[in-house]
Chain A
Amino acid sequence: MTEFRESPSQTAGPYVHIGCMPGVAGIQGMYGDTDPGSEMVQTVCADPVISLEVGVLDGAGAPVCDAMIEIWQAGPEGSFGVTRGFCNWGRAATDAATGVATFETLRPGAIGSQAPHILVWIVARGINLGLMTRIYFDDAPETNARDEVFKIAGDRAGTLVARSVSGGFRHTIRLQGPDETVFFDV
């Protein structure tokens, strides 16, 4: 049955932008000059847009400036069905100077008994298998505390909580260190 085992992962390397975000790589004229996942919210969308800033730090506390982050989330009504003018999937590069990726998105609603959350996937040079984590929101502590996945993170669950800032939320993902972010095997 070896032939039907999953293909092993390899790092996305430092040039992931070429294939996934050619505009970020500086390659003009590809894919209609719109990088996939770069526009989650269309102008026809009626819901308020939030800015979600996600920074990534390495074990030395230095910004990870060559990562790609993808997010997958419910719409405001708490489902993955079609929300007019909204794409539930987004993709952004961490900034080459700051290591922060910015998503313009909608705030997700609760899915059933789950607290509102965003699924996050990080790939980069030095990351051999894409890292999966979640983002919760700091203004819903009671809802978060009842969420089954949030509970699994135990006393490290605080590493999953994004902080409210003007216009949206700010979150830092730490790949190593005393406040290492919780990553999941799902």
Chain B
Amino acid sequence: MTDIPFRRRDPDWHPPALAPDYRSSRLRSPHHKLLHYAPTETEMTGPAFGQDMPGPEDHDLLINFAQPGETALGPRIIVHGRLLDENGRALPGKLIEIWQANAGGRYRHRSDGYLAPLDPNFGGCGRCITDAEGKYLFRSVQPGPYPWPNGGNDWRPAHIHFSVFGDGFAQRLITQMYFEGDPHIALCPIVQSIPSEAAIDRLVARFDPGATVPMDIRAYRFDIVLRGRQATVFENRREGL
């Protein structure tokens, strides 16, 4: 299975390198076309991370930076979903890393000087390994929107960054998750660098009342899909469904 090459990426599905309304892309976007070659062993393989890599609290941003007995400040949320490939197969045992601002929209980072205060009980990072069915789960607080320097009155929608590994290094992906109903999604130059509404919608997590824990914590559902394999028997068998 791991010998079957990955499908090529559809460049029109992802944001283009140059998205002029997102100013930082102007000097950081290559002008030449990406050159294609068929993936070799180097691109088809990638690092593996064991189930024992994360500590027991690494996935729980409510407490993984908090003083004992305390928790982060803000609306408590579960973010959960499945990691799949484009063939619909679950990707078990894969590392997912996330980072986010706190409930006030402030990052714990030397470069962030936003007015909103740091929360002494919130670090803003978490990680986990997907289970046998490709499932993952984080607990956190809902991040706040925040202003950012882009030449105008620009605010990021509330979002969580996701870094995801697959079987092969060519599947490597970093993206962002947004929250259903956020009015900033339609106004954000970074989100709107994605060419289609259908693709943007894939990054919008849905409120998931079924996974909400009564009197405790609300839930959002967010599935992530990495590149699949080229046409094979898997296309018809729909494995993983």
Q: Which residues of A come within 8 Å of B, CB atoms?
A: 2-20, 22, 25-27, 29-32, 36, 58-60, 62, 64, 66, 70, 72-74, 80, 87-89, 96, 111-112, 114, 117, 119, 121, 123-132, 148-149, 152-153, 156, 175-176, 180-186
Number of interface residues of B (CB under 8 A): 83
Question: What does DSSP make chain A's interface, helix, strand, loop or mixed?
Answer: loop
B125 & A18 in contact (Cβ 8 Å cutoff): yes
A131 & B30 in contact (Cβ 8 Å cutoff): yes
Given contacts A18-B99, A22-B125, A127-B25, contact A8 B170 (CB under 8 A): no
Q: Which residues of B come within 8 Å of A, CB atoms?
A: 6, 8-11, 13-17, 19, 22-32, 34-43, 45-47, 55, 58, 64-65, 84-88, 95, 97-99, 107-112, 123-127, 161, 163, 169-170, 172-176, 190-191, 193-194, 198-200, 202-203, 223-228
Find the B residue at minimum CB distance from A8: B199
A15 & B172 in contact (Cβ 8 Å cutoff): no
B43 & A125 in contact (Cβ 8 Å cutoff): no
Question: What does DSSP make chain B's interface, helix, strand, loop or mixed?
Answer: loop
Find the A residue at minimum CB distance from B198: A2
Bound: A148/B39 CA distance, A: 11
B14 & A129 in contact (Cβ 8 Å cutoff): yes
A89 neighbours in B (Cβ, 8 Å): 46-47
A22 neighbours in B (Cβ, 8 Å): 123, 125
For the complex formed, measure the closest distance between the CB of B41 and the CB atoms of chain A, giving whole angstroms: 6
A70 & B172 in contact (Cβ 8 Å cutoff): yes
A148 neighbours in B (Cβ, 8 Å): 37
CB contact between A183 and one of B6, B30, B46, B112 (< 8 Å): that residue: B30
A5 & B109 in contact (Cβ 8 Å cutoff): no
CB contact between B228 and one of A4, A27, A130 (< 8 Å): that residue: A4
Find the B residue at minimum CB distance from A26: B110
B173 & A6 in contact (Cβ 8 Å cutoff): yes
Find the A residue at minimum CB distance from B238: A4
For the complex formed, measure the closest distance between the CB of A185 and the CB atoms of chain B, giving whole angstroms: 4
**Beyond A129-B15, A184-B37, 11 extra complex contacts between A and B, CB < 8 Å:** A10-B174, A10-B203, A19-B163, A20-B163, A22-B123, A73-B42, A89-B47, A111-B40, A129-B17, A175-B30, A185-B9
A62 neighbours in B (Cβ, 8 Å): 27
CB-based closest 4 A-B pairs: A19-B99, A126-B24, A126-B28, A89-B47
For the complex formed, measure the closest distance between the CB of B171 and the CB atoms of chain A, giving whole angstroms: 9
Find the B residue at minimum CB distance from A37: B47
Given contacts A6-B86, A8-B175, contact A185 B11 (CB under 8 A): yes
Given contacts A66-B111, A114-B40, contact A124 B13 (CB under 8 A): no
B15 & A128 in contact (Cβ 8 Å cutoff): yes
B28 & A124 in contact (Cβ 8 Å cutoff): yes
Find the B residue at minimum CB distance from A22: B125
B161 neighbours in A (Cβ, 8 Å): 10, 12-13, 15-16, 19
CB contact between A7 and one of B46, B109, B169, B173 (< 8 Å): that residue: B173
A149 & B41 in contact (Cβ 8 Å cutoff): no
For the complex formed, measure the closest distance between the CB of A64 and the CB atoms of chain B, giving whole angstroms: 7
A10 neighbours in B (Cβ, 8 Å): 15, 161, 174-176, 190-191, 194, 203
